Copies of this chain bind each other. A is one copy, B any other.
């Protein structure tokens, strides 16, 4: 009775594609419901595949799938920060923020789930995944700024800005992605410069950086 031609949902995917598809489906489901309310059947249905297929990829079941989904999103998010260390600094940051916001827009509820780490099923492992991304973001910024030993004021400023960017992303999703990505991107980068400038008033290391940023433009 089954047709010879595969249905779109069952079209032949590579192992990696299939895995990504399952992870994406899982992340969306976990974003909206507590894990105990998500069954592997739901994930299979959302991905348009059979339950045994989900098990074949994730023999550890739901917890394994959940953690793999978070980890995969976290890895993709880290990739956003990858930017060659060449050219003026602010355009580099602008490009990274643009990729980050595109990621946020693409994953939507999945992004909220990731950030909340997930709010519904936080474990020390999931929290570590999200904190790892935040740490990676801060390290990328410091590397691009050429700072090897950031003082506490500079470090705090960067962590505060990263948190503010996360908050902005969640609000942005809530507000149907308004303002447009390009405006939000530039706005966030300008805020970065503005808060560094405030810190520069009380921190020599940051002051040097702000002057370098200004000269670099």
Interface residues of A (CB under 8 A from B): 119-120, 122, 127, 152-153, 156, 159-161, 163-164, 166-168, 171-172, 175, 178-179, 183, 187, 190-191, 194-195, 197-199, 201-202
The contact sample of 16 A-B pairs, CB cut-off 8 A, is A119-B122, A119-B127, A120-B122, A122-B122, A152-B175, A152-B179, A156-B168, A159-B171, A160-B164, A163-B163, A163-B167, A164-B167, A164-B195, A187-B198, A190-B198, A194-B195
Complex: A187 Cα to B202 Cα, angstroms: 9
Q: Which of B160, B172, B191, B202 contacts A183 (CB 8 A)?
A: B202
Task: Tell me what chain A mostly uses at the interface: helix, strand, loop, or mixed.
Answer: helix
Given contacts A159-B167, A161-B164, contact A191 B195 (CB under 8 A): yes
The residue on B at minimum CB distance from A168 is: B160
* Cβ contacts under 8 Å, A199 to chain B: 187
Copies in the complex: 2
A159 / chain B contacts, CB cutoff of 8 Å:
167, 171
Given the known interface contacts A175-B152, A183-B202, A195-B195, the answer about A163 and B161 at a Cβ–Cβ threshold of 8 Å is no
Chain B residues, Cβ within 8 Å of A167: 159-160, 163-164
A128 to chain B, nearest CB (A): 12
From B120, B156, B168, contact of A171 by CB (8 A): B156
